[in-house]
Amino acid sequence: MDNKSEVKVLETKNISKSFGPVQALDKVNFDLNKAEIHGLLGENGAGKSTLMNVLYGLYKEDEGDIYLRGEKVDFNSPIDSIRNGIGMIHQSSTLVPEFTALENLILGTEGNKMTLELKEAEKKIKQLQDDFGLKFPLGTKVKDLPAGVKKKVEIIRAIYRGANILILDEPTTSLVEKEFEQLLKSLRKMVNNGVTIVFITHKIKEVLKACDRASVLTGGVMQGTVDTTNATKEDLVKLMFQNQEINITESAIPIIDVPEVEKSEKPVLSLNNLSAKSKEKDGTDLKSISFDIYGGEILGIAGISGNGQKELAEVIIDPNNITEGEIDLLGEKVNGLTTNKIFDRNVFYIPEDRKKESILGRGDIVNNVLLGHQREEKFQSNGIIKWKKVRDETQDVIKEYGVKTPDEKQQIGKLSGGNIQRVVIGRALINDLDLLVTHSPTAGLDMASVEFVFKRLVELRSEGTAVLYINEDLDELMEVSDRIGVIHEGKLIEIFNQDQYDKYEIGSKMIGG
Amino acid sequence: MAVEEKTIEENSNWQKFWNGFKPYILALVIAFGISGAIIGILGYNIPKAYQTLLFTSFSSQRGFVETLKKFIPLTFATYAFAIPFRIKFFNIGGWGQMLFGGTITAIVGIGLAGLNLPAIIFIPILILSAMLAGALFALIAGFLKAYYNINPIISTIMLNFIAFYFVNFVATNAPWKAPQSGHPMTLKLPEAALLPKVFNQIHFGIVLVILAIIAIYYLMNKTVLGYEIKATGINPDASSVYGIKMKKTLMITFLIAGAMGGLGGGIEVMGVHSRLIEGFALTSGAQYGIFGILTALICQGKPLGVPLSAMFISILLVGADAMQRTLQVPVELVFLTQAIIVLMIVVLRRQAGGSYIE
Amino acid sequence: MKGSVDVGQLTEMLTQIISYTSIYALASLGIVIGGRTGVFNISGEGIMLASASAGFIAAYQTGSWFMGFVVGALMGGLFALILIYIHEKLKISQFILGITLVILGTGLSDLLYKTAIGVQLFAPEAPRVPDIRIPGLSNIPIISAIFNQDVIVYFTYIAVFIAFYIFYHTRIGLETRAIGEDPKAADVVGINVKLRRYVTTIIGGMFMGLAGAYLPLVVTGTYTTNISNGRGFMAIGIAIFASWRPERALLGSFIFAAIEVISFQQQLGASMFPYQFLLMLPFISVLLIMWLFNKKVEFPAALGKPYSRE
């Protein structure tokens, strides 16, 4: 931190980039000092990753110039940026799951390509692991490594390839508090060795904690750069949200008023010692899970991605891979019922991956509103769909949830993420619900949409609905959940009551501590 | 997020129509250009070749009837490919399903000959046998995909070969074999088992094909099943999450596809040849199944696009036969032209922002 | 097989099986190579037909078997180039392109033959492909089946070995396999995904082309309509059975060649069993083997999927 120099390690001038009609970056100027941790702050969809992908040579800018140590450079592929000492760790793993950590580390490196001699590389890598305190087994297949370890592999990979500018895209999404602090220590060691780090995040407190300077992007426009030593949360909020009136926490979560609500007497959903097989080949099986959710409460489920969250959500709406135990809905055993039968019992589901699992991207809004309801008496008789009824319902959803669209015939994939999620939520709430199962419903949404989603969840709770709210982001969970259960390797480790909330405590449970 | 709102494009209806139509016209121009060049290089008379190719169907009543005779089996073969194609599975087995449907029709028809059933009972029995046979034969592929993850492209092709040898077996063995015939064929079906002619010109299959077109349209657009098939086609993951099970939908589409193929084969036996005869599902030197694939790819398997594009291909096939007969231009040239048309349509539609992505 | 089989007959049959193995091995190796970068080229049947025709014509016109294989390989490479070019440019489904190319190849094969050679009273014969007899080994019964073969058979072994070595014992192979597993992961470490997809697909197509040319130049000695008779599709089955590993593709090819040769020979001899069912056997075996091994099959994770950065 002390040996900052005035030479700009990297500088961009007027970088613009659009995807089709969407302007992702608009004349962005950005610069890095040598050996600093530079935060790149902005809400989802602000263009942070796009800007960094341009610097990494993965995207080609439409306009503008990049200067590296004062010299203009032109990157057409990651190989160009890697050779110039830039390394990037993407938000989701870019390691080959079927290969070992070591194989992944040497992938694409220079050297004799007609052999597979790894001894020397291994030695060098072990040295780097020691230097920066980033230990992991080299011979294990990456698919068998936990998410936090994969991050370490990717960081070592970048350093091994000689990166002196290291870009980390939302590195904390798969890390718990303790891991984040360990990571910070390693990053500081690198900075002391002269490495410059870009730290992308949407959480203000991470910037304040980790960074020397921070630049703020909003809607593809650079709002400015601040020195974080003197900056406060309010300064950054102002930059991030300009004129919007939004009340957010340090973790960039809208502050929501969660009223007192009377819980139902009997649980809406009970899992009794439930074990279930994952439907996916490399999925996580559920092991002896027990919990109750009552009407009028939000039960949060915390955990590192891939520890059985998806399986937990799916076994409730499709209780068919159960190996042991039972699921009760309002006191009745539902093992073996089809999804449609479960939905008939006033249950609905909002999955994690919006584009992949929630919507029919090329379908219009009408067809999307019908999805999941297609076998209900309301919308069909004798197998013939009542299209008029579906269209009316769709128009109601559009009106009630404020979906911005020309009409109901609009292809849903062309709407913005926030508008898609409004349709998805509207669809879920067509019928009065006893139970809503939802997995990261706020992922990738801008702040206004996140607020919208939270308000709906809290409203549902007030109406007496039971909400199972799975989210990998602990900050978000703590904001609205009555209780938080921690899931790790398919097991429900512990359930915390609101008065026991502690990020360290819950975080260490999330990684099996 | 304000930026993303700009993605909503608004085109005038006319422009939309033209944008949708342009790739087809361009594809035809390019494909006919290439085939014209080949015709020229080979030393044939280009204008005459085109005239024969495109207008034989309309130059005489016979030409038109011939076109309809190709149109009927082709439409069924096209549906056989088009329906599983809606959920992105490739049923290359339309031909095998035709063969199997036709063979079972002949077996049942010959088997029931002694009962002297009236046509009004006999024909529906045979139609159902043909559909059932084709459906079950196709279901093998659907089942193997659903439960053993065997790619239908491979399984249906293997089933084609199996069906081919099955036809040969039935057509050359007692009790079905026709005595003293050089070419493998069975005995003639009883009179009451044969499809009557409508307007004294074309067999009853034309009515069946029209009924099939209406039924498929209704199924795909008005029913829950059709909705579930379409939803699965757009996004199998989301559909599965919301209770539309892939395995079931997959097998249903293969059942419907097989029923269509089988019926197409049965109609050829009952309406055209009056018996099972080896090579009955071939036209212009190739399998109806192959032309069905091309036809379906031209219209992306859309229910109402199928008859239109089947009519177009039928016209080309009749023209191709005539071209070979009168000008000695090899029929394979038209085959090639059709493949190029499809390739160009796929490419141009995609360039125009259409959806031919995986 | 009936009664005692004499060694001479067995050797002869084995010789034929090993020759047929080359057809399947070359074709499935072609599929495997492209598949390793995620490109699933299902147009093998079309390539084999077009290459059989073009290769035969070239060999017949020039009098050189070698030219036949060169032209066959080039034809295969051309088909593969069309596939990968359109796919990379527009991300159109590899399967749709593959099917269309099958049909294109089917049409093209007869058209080429009809225009270049036409109808002749006697089937024109291809120039002979020379045999190589390994001294010593080619005299031992049974074993000699392996060491008394035409040049292309030896070429096949070498090609399979080289492919195996490159994919599993070199860095370039590791990188190439990475593309088939996860093209994004390969891209971000600086591997040229597009270039390698082009190269492997085209090389793969050339191997399929060699398989096609092998049919008229070695197996039948002349060109006939539909000469590959579904083998291009069976090669896909072999590639799947082999989990996209070259050495296993060779094993699978041997199994299918054996089934084909044996069922064909039995069909000539036996009469107790309708011969049509014996002719069905190779096709039924594809289904059976895929069914039996479906749990053990591993696919390159990105197989058949388009990749683009944005």
Surface-to-core class of residue B66, CB atoms within 10 Å of its CB (0-12 exposed, 13-18 middle, 19+ buried): buried
- Listed in sequence order, the residues at least 6 apart from C23 whose beta carbon sits closer than 8 Å to its beta carbon are C211, C214, C215, C219, C231, C253, C257
| A and C: number of Cβ contacts within 8 A | 80
Q: Whose CA is closest to A216, among A196, A232, A202?
A: A202
The CB density around residue C158, as the number of other CB atoms within 10 Å, is 10
- The chains found to touch B (3+ Cβ pairs under 8 angstroms) are A, C
Decide if B37 touches C, using CB distance below 8 A: no
Indicate the length of chain B as a whole number: 358
Write the residue in C181, C184, C189 that is nearest to A108 by C-beta.
Answer: C189
Position C275 scores a pLDDT of 85
CA–CA gap between residue C35 and residue C200 (Å, rounded): 8
CA–CA gap between residue C245 and residue C28 (Å, rounded): 10
Position A6 scores a pLDDT of 65
**For the residues B310-314, what does the mean pLDDT come to?**
96
CA atoms within 13 A on the CB side of A57: 22
Instruction: Report the largest interatomic distance among the alpha carbons of chain A, rounded to a whole angstrom.
Output: 76
Contacts of B333 in chain C (CB under 8 A): 107, 111
Unique residue bearing structure tokens 């919208």: A452
- Domain residue ranges of chain A, discontinuous segments joined by +: 8-95+163-241, 267-510
Q: Whose CA is closest to C286, among B325, A478, B150?
A: B150
CA–CA gap between residue A202 and residue A48 (Å, rounded): 9
Please answer yes or no on whether C171 and A88 come within 8 Å at the CB atom: no
Q: Whose CA is closest to B94, among B135, B127, B125?
A: B135
- Domain residue ranges of chain C, discontinuous segments joined by +: 19-293
Please answer yes or no on whether C190 and A88 come within 8 Å at the CB atom: no
pLDDT one-digit tens code per residue, A364-385: 999 999 999 999 999 999 999 9
Q: List Cα–Cα distances, B57 to A331, B62, B173, B322, B338, in angstroms.
A: 70, 8, 38, 10, 17
End-to-end alpha carbon distance in chain C: 60
CA–CA gap between residue C26 and residue C250 (Å, rounded): 9
Please answer yes or no on whether C190 and A94 come within 8 Å at the CB atom: no
Unique residue bearing structure tokens 């006191």: A331
CA–CA gap between residue A24 and residue A46 (Å, rounded): 7
Q: Does domain A267-510 have CATH number 3.40.50.300?
A: yes
- Residue A226: both structure tokens together: 């601040």
Closest Cα of chain A to C240: distance in Å?
18
Position A94 scores a pLDDT of 95
Please answer yes or no on whether C310 and A59 come within 8 Å at the CB atom: yes
CA–CA gap between residue A488 and residue A308 (Å, rounded): 7
Identify the helix (H) or strand (E) that includes residue A22: strand A22-33
Portion 263-282 of B in contact with C at CB < 8 A: none
CA–CA gap between residue B224 and residue C101 (Å, rounded): 35
CA–CA gap between residue A373 and residue B314 (Å, rounded): 41
DSSP A164: S
Decide if C9 contacts C17 (C-beta within 8 A).
no
Which residues face A301 on adjacent strands? A470, A485
Lowest mean pLDDT among A138-147, A389-398, B92-101, B281-290: B281-290
Position B355 scores a pLDDT of 59
Q: Whose CA is closest to A400, among A382, A431, A426, A377?
A: A426
- Residue A186: both structure tokens together: 């390693």
**For the residues A188-210, what does the mean pLDDT come to?**
95
- Residue A158: both structure tokens together: 């970048």
Portion 39-78 of B in contact with C at CB < 8 A: 42
CA–CA gap between residue B176 and residue B169 (Å, rounded): 10
Q: Whose CA is closest to A296, among A483, A71, A49?
A: A483
Position A174 scores a pLDDT of 84
Contacts of C94 in chain B (CB under 8 A): 358
Contacts of C310 in chain A (CB under 8 A): 19, 59
Q: Which residue has the higher pLDDT, B355 or A400?
A: A400
CA–CA gap between residue B282 and residue B264 (Å, rounded): 12
At residue B3 the predicted structure's pLDDT band, cuts being 50, 70 and 90, is: very low
Q: List Cα–Cα distances, B216 to A36, A346, B305, in angstroms.
A: 65, 33, 11
Write the residue in B162, B335, B338 that is nearest to C284 by C-beta.
Answer: B162
Q: Do domains A8-95+163-241 and A267-510 have the same CATH topology?
A: yes
CA–CA gap between residue A174 and residue A469 (Å, rounded): 18
Amino acid at B82: A
CA–CA gap between residue A346 and residue A465 (Å, rounded): 10
Put simply, whether the predicted model's pTM sits higher than 0.90 gets the answer yes
Please answer yes or no on whether B336 and C274 come within 8 Å at the CB atom: no
Helix axes C44-62, C94-116, angle to 10 degrees: 30
- Residue B222: both structure tokens together: 């008005």
Decide if B57 contacts B63 (C-beta within 8 A).
yes
Which residues face A322 on adjacent strands? A276
Instruction: Report the largest interatomic distance among the alpha carbons of chain B, rounded to a whole angstrom.
Output: 80
User: What are A's interface residues with C at a Cβ cutoff of 8 A?
Assistant: 19, 53, 56, 58-59, 77-79, 82-83, 88, 90, 94-99, 103-104, 106-109, 111-116, 157, 161
Write the residue in A359, A371, A383 that is nearest to B223 by C-beta.
Answer: A383
Identify the helix (H) or strand (E) that includes residue A179: helix A177-192
The per-type count for chain A, helices as H runs and strands as E runs, is 16, 22
User: What are B's interface residues with A at a Cβ cutoff of 8 A?
Assistant: 1-10, 222-225, 227-228, 230-231, 234-235, 237-239, 241-245, 355
Portion 204-233 of B in contact with C at CB < 8 A: none
Helix axes B46-59, B13-41, angle to 10 degrees: 120
Among C93, C103, C104, most B C-beta atoms within 10 A, so best to mutate, is C103
CATH code assigned to A8-95+163-241: 3.40.50.300
DSSP C219: I
Position A281 scores a pLDDT of 82
Tell me the Cα Rg of chain A. 24
Pairing mode, if any, of strands A86-89 and A165-169? parallel
Position A3 scores a pLDDT of 45
Q: Give the alpha-carbon dihedral of B209, B213, B218, B219, to 10 degrees.
A: 80
Position C146 scores a pLDDT of 87
Which residues face A28 on adjacent strands? A15
Identify the helix (H) or strand (E) that includes residue B267: helix B246-267
Q: What is the mean pLDDT of chain B?
A: 91
Residue B203 has pLDDT above 90, yes or no: yes
Contacts of C233 in chain B (CB under 8 A): 153-154, 157-158
Unique residue bearing structure tokens 């007959």: C9
CA–CA gap between residue B316 and residue B298 (Å, rounded): 14
Q: What angle do CA B349, A360, B352 make, to 5 degrees?
A: 15
Contacts of C115 in chain B (CB under 8 A): 42, 330
The CB density around residue B61, as the number of other CB atoms within 10 Å, is 9
Position B8 scores a pLDDT of 39
CA–CA gap between residue B244 and residue C214 (Å, rounded): 47
Taking the mean position of all CA atoms in its chain, how far away is CA C20?
Answer: 10
Top-level CATH class of C19-293? mainly alpha
Whether the bond between C306 and the residue before it is cis, its omega within 30 degrees of 0, is no
Please report, in tens digits, the pLDDT of each residue of chain C (310 residues total).
444 568 888 899 999 999 999 999 999 999 999 999 999 999 999 999 999 999 999 999 999 999 999 999 999 999 999 999 999 999 999 999 999 999 999 999 999 998 899 878 888 999 999 999 988 888 888 888 888 899 999 999 999 999 999 999 999 999 999 999 999 999 999 999 999 999 999 999 999 999 999 999 999 999 999 999 999 999 999 999 999 999 999 999 999 999 999 888 887 766 667 888 988 999 999 999 999 998 889 999 999 999 998 7
Write the residue in A21, A349, A360 that is nearest to B234 by C-beta.
Answer: A360
pLDDT one-digit tens code per residue, A41-79: 998 889 999 999 999 999 999 999 999 999 999 999 999
At residue B358 the predicted structure's pLDDT band, cuts being 50, 70 and 90, is: very low
Write the residue in C108, C280, C305 that is nearest to B358 by C-beta.
Answer: C305
pLDDT above 90 covers a percentage of chain B that reads 77
Please answer yes or no on whether C175 and A113 come within 8 Å at the CB atom: yes
- The chains found to touch A (3+ Cβ pairs under 8 angstroms) are B, C
Residue A4 has pLDDT above 80, yes or no: no
Decide if A79 touches B, using CB distance below 8 A: no
Unique residue bearing structure tokens 């020195």: A227
Q: Spell out the domains of chain B, with CATH numbers in brackets.
A: 62-315 (1.10.3470)
Position A368 scores a pLDDT of 97
Comparing alpha-carbon positions, the chain C residue that sits nearest to B169 is C276
Helix (H, G, I), strand (E, B) or coil at C24: helix
State the sign of the Cα–Cα–Cα–Cα dihedral A423, A424, A430, A435.
negative
CA–CA gap between residue A4 and residue B28 (Å, rounded): 66
Among C171, C175, C195, C299, most A C-beta atoms within 10 A, so best to mutate, is C171
- Residue A271: both structure tokens together: 């899992």
CA–CA gap between residue B115 and residue A63 (Å, rounded): 82
Position B354 scores a pLDDT of 66
The CB density around residue A62, as the number of other CB atoms within 10 Å, is 14
